[in-house]
Structure formats: structure tokens, C-alpha cells
Structure 1
Amino acid sequence: MALNFFNQFNIPYTLWIPLIIPAMAFPLTLMFSTNRLMKSRCLAIQSWLLMNIAKQLMLPISTSGHKWTSTFISIMLLIISLNTLGLLPYTFTPTTQLSMNMALATPTWLMTILVGLRNQPTMSLGHLLPEGTPTPLTPMLIMIETVSLFIRPIALGVRLTANLTAGHLLMQLTSTAVLAVFNTMPLTSLLTLILLMLLTCLEMAVAMIQAYVFILLLTLYLQENT
């Protein structure tokens, strides 16, 4: 029974065709439609939100780091799209796979490190040793800071994977309870269904918040190296 709960993280197939392909192709049809190129209230709201999010993210970073704004916003929109995609029926959430999240986290984290080593190597290496550290503790602190530096991409990938996996499993358990008690306790089943709807709204908010947190941490790493 426990294994069935994790089957939702497998890509569903119909006639040997993975359903993730039409699910990911559906937003492209909206993007390249003619109405997409016309001004509308929806596009105005989207542009306003993206502009304010970009300002909020890049405000603490120096001017030299502002060139990465389009990259970070693109990654955030990609993660939001993949996170919310899994909330649709008969689809699959790619960001519940640790391998994909690490493939997003590692290059972007490495990019922030390389930017710092290229532009200001002394200051970037200075983060490995806090100012005023006693001399006997210097080797130990350098080792600790180095390990914490290389743990950052792992923390980025694991945080995104764990939050989405936990939310999907909780929704699966709640929906199973609704079907299990529907015939015997209809009132309890109705209350559980309402809880499931609220949980779905919460999971949609989590999908967006986790994408924002992912990019926010990347901007903090970039701030240390610019």
C-alpha cells in the first residue's frame, strides 16, 4: 500500500506515450497564440508582478550583478511552471525528482562562485575565514566554511524536492481517505474533501513560494560574490 503512494511520482503513460509531453506542450500553445501578443489585463498584471519581483530580488545586489536578472527570473518561471504542472490530473511533477533539482541548483550555484572568483577573488575567498578568528581555529573554520559552501547546492535541491514531495504525499493520503470513508461516513468524507481542496490551494501557494525561495537564495549567494 505504501508503494502505491509513490506511484504518483512516476510518469503516466497512455498508449505508450508519456503524458508529460502534451502537458508541457500545452503552455507553449498559449505562448505562441496570437492573443498572447496582444495587450490584455492578464499580461499587464504579469509584467507588473515580474517587474516588482525582479526589483525586490536585485535590490541588495550591486549593479554588476543586475545582468543576471533575466536568468534568475527565467529560472523562477520555469520552476513555477513545473511545480504547478504536477497539480493537474494525469500529469507528472518533474521537480519532485532530486536529479532534476540538482541539475538546476548546481550550475547556478557554481555560476555565483565563478563570478566572485573572477571579479573579486580576495573577497570571495575571504568568506571562508570570518574576520577576527583566533589563529588556532583558522584551519578548522576554513574546513567548516568550505564544507558549508559545497553543501549549498545540495540544500537547494533537497529543499525543493522535499517540500513538493511532502505536499503531494499529503494530498494523496487525504484523497485516499475521502474515497475510503465515502460509503460508511459521508459527512466525514465531505469534510475531508473540503480539507483536500484547501490543501490543494496551499500546495499551489507552496509551489510558487518554493520557486521564489530557490531564486532568493541564489541572489544571496550572488550578493556575496559581487
Structure 2
Amino acid sequence: MLTLSLSFFDQFASPTFLGVPLVAIALTLPWILYPTPCTRWQNNRLLTLQAWSITRFTQQLLLPLSPGAHKWALLLTSLMVFLFTLNMLGLLPYTFTPTTQLSINLGFAVPLWLATVIIGMRYQPTTALGHLLPEGTPTLLIPVLIIIETISLFIRPLALGVRLTANLTAGHLLIQLISTAVFVLLPLMPVVATLTAALLFLLTLLEVAVAMIQAYVFVLLLSLYLQENM
């Protein structure tokens, strides 16, 4: 049982081939999959759909932000497309999902969160520091609230990384467990195995939705942090 449990979690270990970590290839692959714009007057259907989706997402993302934060549009949109593609690629057989690694997710979250904090301290130091102490706080609670708000501020990048890692890891592990149950039950109870396979199909569709939603939530929270400091 211990060996079986370890084999389930082996899919989240960073694999290597000839000493080369495959996570590097997995991180560069999404940019190869996206087509380059053509020089014709009219694009094909794939490019048109891609451009429309990215434009609508950017408009929706920047709607509550101030005009000064619109310069982040290219960075946030590129990050969302990148995370969405990494999450979707991980659902294919015999692939590796880099976003199940907490170190990679923190590598995305910490620098961008720190950039929003630095921007707030540079352009609006009074407002940025004012978030640490709500207005109308009793005098006795001021030291406690400052400590609590400071801790919550530094927990933000950790929450971003853990949220993305936990959701994708839980979904992938559940798919692995149910697919193993299907193969075990197929020769013993074909009817139960068929019903389990139908459940696995629905779970896969749910995981596709989770892959899209988690990429959107990651970028949306970053935009909210940016809104507080602009």
C-alpha cells in the first residue's frame, strides 16, 4: 500500500532526462503552441478567436483599475495565458504540470506581489501604510492590528502559490486514483467500471474548468493587489 501511494505522488516529482530537468521544457512549450500573427489583411479563425479572447479578458481585468495601472496589461495578460496553457497541458497523458510545484508558483507570485508593494511605497506611501491600520481603530488595539495586517500582507504571495498548487495537485491526484480504480474494476465488475469511467470523464471536464479558473484567479488577485497600491 505504501508503494502504491508513493507511485501516485510520483507524477508531481520534477522528472529529469539525461540530467536535464524536464520542467524547463514544460515551461517553454506553451509559447511554441501559440501561432504567430500572419501578414495577411485577414487572420484565420484561430488567430481571430485568440485575439478576441485576450482582448475581452484584458478589458474585464483592467475595468476596475486606475489608468496608471493599465501599463500592467501586457504583463498580466501574458501571465494568465501562460498559466492557463501550463494548467491545460498538465491534463494530457504522459505530461508534467509545472504549476503543481510550489517553488514555481512562488516564483511567479513573490516578485509580482513585491512589485505591487514597492509601487505603493514609492508613489503612495501614506495610503500603502494606511492599509495596515483601519480607520477608527481603538488605541489599545493599534499594535495588535498592525501586526496582524503586516502578517496578512506577507502571507499574500504564499496564499497565491499554495492556492494554485493545492487545487491542481488535488484534481490531478483524484483523476489518478479514479483512473486506477477503473482499470482494477474493469475485469471484476464491468458495470461499476463503466460508471466510474463516466465519473472520471465528468471529473476531467471539471478539472479543465479548474485549470482555467485558477489561472484567472491568480491574475485577478494580483490585479487587486495592484489596485490597492496605485
Distance (whole Å) between structure 2 residues aligned to residue 148 and residue 29 of structure 1: 38
In the alignment, which residue of structure 2 is the partner of 1:4?
7
Aligned partners of 1:17 and 1:151: how far apart in 2?
33
* Equivalent of 1:107 in 107, 111, 130: 111
**CA distance in 1: counterparts of 2:111 and 2:26, whole angstroms:** 26
Tell me what 2:71 maps to.
Answer: 67
The structure 1 residue matched to 2:102, chosen from 98, 101, 108, is: 98
Residue 87 (structure 2) aligns with: 83
Among 153, 170, 177, the alignment partner of 1:173 is: 177
Q: Residues 189 and 19 of structure 1: is their aligned pair in 2 closer, same or farther, counting only changes over 3 Å?
A: farther
Amino acid at match of 1:116: G
Q: How do 1:211-222 and structure 2 match up within 5 A?
A: 211-222=215-226
Match of 1:58 in 2: 62
Note closer, same or farther for the CA distance 1:103–1:178 as it changes in structure 2 (3 Å cut). same
Cα RMSD between the aligned structures?
2.0
2:54 is paired with a residue of what secondary structure?
helix
Matches within 5 A, 1:6-21: 6-12=9-15
SS of alignment partner, residue 198 of structure 1:
helix
- Distance in 1 (CA, whole Å) between partners of 2:70 and 2:147 is 31
Does residue 200 of the first structure (1) align with residue 204 of the second (2)?
yes
What is aligned with 1:128? Answer: 132
Task: Return the TM-score normalized by structure 1.
Answer: 0.92
SS of residue matched to 2:180: helix
Aligned partner letter, 1:102: L
One-letter amino acid matched to 1:145: E
Kept in 2: contact 1:19–1:90 (CA 8 A): no
Distance 1:97 1:64 in 2: 33
Q: 1:101, 1:23 → 2: CA distance?
A: 14
Q: Which residue of structure 1 aligns with residue 159 of structure 2? A: 155
Alpha-carbon shift at residue 11 of structure 1 (Å)? 4.2
Do the aligned partners of 1:11 and 1:19 also contact (CA within 8 Å) in 2?
yes
Distance 2:143 2:96 in 1: 46
Conserved? CA contact 1:97–1:161, under 8 Å: yes
Displacement of 1:78: 1.1
Q: Is contact 1:109-1:153 (8 Å) kept?
A: yes
- Per the TM alignment, residue 136 of structure 1 is displaced from its structure 2 partner at its CA by 1.3
